[in-house]
């Protein structure tokens, strides 16, 4: 067990030999809200939950159970069932715009992704002097919840304090992210509760839902619509691939990437590197998973030996498909099947580029003006700060 694997990545519940470290269960709070007639309870589900949930009900590993999952959530009593993939599309749109802005205006490079809270926490504690590398764009979960409690609340004429926003995540660190004071407004958190995939499995079993025989149903809209780019977020390399699809098109004045499926960033290698030629510029990229590999890259950045422009970091092995909140029976073989399933969802999607999501276009046209606008920055971006570290790796 390596200490660098233990910075709120959720792996503790998998490796703790006596089970003394357990996740905080918010199910009771969620059920209280569901039964409260004064609350509108909305739920969002992360990309990698839909390819892990079926394992627990005897379906083959990596089964895609999106539509049964939506039915189960409706049976539990959620008023609206939305998709974190919509938030992922929004994250990509803002992050691609941010990358282009940093490149054009000689701002701090390389830019690193910031959608993994265990990675953000690690950076704040162990590389506080390098925080400016983190993208200011909020994670899909937090960007979704920010829109839900502002634009969606306004559109549906619901007071934001009467919306209870639940996130089903493959991740324990998301529980900590939801509590960050900057991710809310006026003392009201944007995300009220986080339930892990494991927690949802327990809840479905507790209620006695016959998951395998559930009818299939669709997400609610507007925040249930997403593209294939949003789906691949759950696999290591997915955020990078999704961001490239949008950034490439914007930097070339509308020319799509020659190959939408960008294979150099896919797969299980701990550190993947590539160079992408875009409009006369060579974009140097890297994709890393596990915090051990992230520390290796950050040491290079700190010592000035890093020439990358854009780096994706995910704390869990394989990305969120192998997250700390997924069923504990997860092995590398299972993680790979889930990854494959996410790429299948992308391949079968009608729209595969985040900026083409029609509900995003509407959101920008009616509310946020354009990606990277002042309004978009107020709502969809955040900031980070140095924190005290629990471990000193030098000892
Ligand atoms: Fe959570 Fe995904 Fe990061 Fe793991 S990789 S800590 S599951 S966000």
CA 346 from centroid of its chain's CA atoms: 16
Domain annotation covers residue 221: yes
In a domain, 393, yes or no: no
Residue with tokens 């040491």: 299
Instruction: Please choose from 138, 171, 294 the residue to mutate so as to test ligand 1's pocket, defined by most ligand atoms within 8 A of CB.
Output: 171
Token code pair at residue 80: 């609206």
The answer to the question of residue 389 being in a domain is no
Q: Residue 269: pLDDT above 60?
A: yes
C-alpha 203 to ligand 1 mean position (Å): 22
- CA-nearest residue for atom 1, ligand 1, is 171
Question: Do 64 and 50 contact (CB within 8 A), yes or no?
Answer: yes
Residue 357 domain flag? yes
Inform me whether the pLDDT recorded for 393 exceeds 60. no
pLDDT in tens, 78-122: 999 999 999 999 999 999 999 999 999 999 999 999 999 999 999
Q: Is 375 a catalytic residue?
A: no
Domain holding 70: CATH number?
A: 3.40.50.1780
Ligand 1 center to 37 CA (angstroms) = 33
133 domain-assigned: yes
Domain span at 146: 3-380
Is residue 118 lining ligand 1, measured as CB closer than 6 Å?
Answer: yes
Percent of the chain topping pLDDT 90: 88
Q: What region, left, alpha or beta, does residue 58 occupy, with left being phi > 0 and alpha being psi -120 to 50 degrees? A: left
Q: Residue 387: inside a domain, yes or no?
A: no
Could you give the residue ranges of the DSSP H alpha helices within 43-147?
A: 66-76, 84-104, 117-126, 140-147
Query: Which residue's alpha carbon is at the smallest distance from atom 2 of ligand 1?
Result: 320
171 counts as catalytic: no
User: Is pLDDT of 329 > 80?
Assistant: no
Determine whether the shortest distance from the Cβ of 47 to ligand 1 is under 6 A.
no
In the prediction, which pLDDT does 6 show? 45
Q: Evaluate if pTM is beyond 0.90.
A: yes
The verdict on the CB of residue 7 being under 6 Å from ligand 1 is: no
Whether 385 maps to a domain, the answer reads no
Domain count of the chain? 1
Nearest to 126 by CA among 251, 266, 253, 8: 8
Q: Give pLDDT, residue 189.
A: 96
Of the candidates 135, 165, 226, 354, the residue annotated as catalytic is 135
- Determine whether 98 is an active site residue: yes
Q: Which of 293, 235, 319, 273 is nearest to 5 (CA)?
A: 293
Span 146-199, pLDDT tens digits: 999 999 999 999 999 999 999 999 999 999 999 999 999 988 999 999 999 999
Give distance in angstroms: CA of 234 to centre of ligand 1: 9
Structural domain includes residue 263:
yes
Measure 252 CA to ligand 1 centroid, in angstroms: 32
Q: Is the CB of 140 under 6 A from ligand 1?
A: no
Kindly report the average pLDDT of the chain as a whole number: 93
Alpha carbon nearest to ligand 1 atom 6, residue: 9
Helix 66-76 crosses helix 197-207 at what angle (to 10 degrees)?
A: 60
174 is catalytic: yes
Structure tokens at 264: 């150099």
Query: Measured from the CB, is residue 323 less than 6 Å from ligand 1?
Result: yes
Measuring CA to CA, which residue among 226, 233, 228 is closest to residue 260?
Answer: 228
Calpha distance 166→174 (Å, rounded) = 11
In the block, tokens 């590999």 appear at 293
Ligand 1 test: best mutation among 113, 319, 321, 326, most atoms within 8 Å of CB?
A: 319
9 is catalytic: no
By the 10 Å C-beta count (0-12 exposed, 13-18 middle, 19+ buried), 210 is classed as exposed
Residue showing tokens 């960050």: 180
Whether 369 is catalytic is: no
pLDDT in tens, 285-325: 999 999 999 999 999 999 999 899 999 999 999 999 999 99
């Amino acid at each position: 067990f390596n200490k660098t694997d233990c910075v709120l990545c959720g792996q503790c519940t998998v490796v703790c030999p006596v089970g003394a470290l357990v996740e905080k269960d918010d199910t009771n709070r969620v059920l209280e809200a569901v039964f409260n007639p004064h609350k509108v309870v909305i739920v969002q589900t992360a990309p990698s939950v839909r390819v892990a949930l079926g394992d627990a009900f005897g379906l083959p590993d990596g089964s895609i159970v999106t539509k049964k999952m939506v039915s189960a959530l409706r049976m539990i009593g959620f008023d609206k069932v939305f998709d974190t993939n919509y938030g992922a599309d929004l994250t990509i749109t803002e992050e691609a715009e941010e990358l282009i802005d940093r490149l054009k205006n000689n701002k701090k490079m390389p830019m690193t992704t910031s959608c993994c809270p265990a990675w953000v926490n690690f950076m704040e504690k162990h590389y506080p002097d390098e925080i400016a590398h983190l993208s200011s764009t909020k994670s899909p979960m937090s960007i979704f919840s920010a829109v839900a409690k502002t634009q969606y609340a306004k559109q549906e004429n619901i007071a934001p304090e009467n919306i209870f926003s639940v996130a089903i995540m493959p991740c324990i660190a998301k529980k900590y992210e939801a509590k960050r004071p900057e991710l809310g407004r006026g003392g009201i958190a944007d995300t009220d509760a986080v339930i892990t995939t494991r927690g949802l499995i327990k809840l479905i079993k507790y209620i006695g839902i016959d998951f395998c025989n559930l009818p299939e149903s669709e997400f609610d809209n507007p925040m249930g619509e997403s593209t294939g780019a949003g789906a691949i977020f759950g696999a290591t390399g997915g955020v990078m691939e999704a961001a490239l699809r949008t950034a490439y098109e914007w930097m070339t004045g509308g020319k799509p990437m020659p190959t939408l499926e960008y294979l150099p960033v896919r797969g299980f290698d701990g550190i993947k590197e590539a160079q992408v030629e875009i409009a006369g510029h060579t974009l140097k990229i890297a994709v890393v998973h596990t915090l051990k590999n992230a520390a290796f890259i950050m040491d290079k950045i700190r010592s000035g030996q890093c020439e990358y422009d854009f780096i994706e970091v995910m704390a869990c092995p394989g990305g969120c498909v192998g997250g700390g909140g997924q069923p504990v029976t997860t092995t590398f073989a299972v993680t790979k099947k889930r990854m494959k399933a996410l790429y299948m969802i992308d391949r079968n999607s009608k729209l595969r580029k985040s900026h083409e999501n029609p509900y995003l276009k509407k959101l920008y046209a009616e509310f946020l003006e354009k990606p990277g606008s002042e309004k978009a920055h107020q709502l969809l971006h955040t900031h980070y700060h140095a924190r005290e570290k629990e471990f000193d790796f030098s000892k």
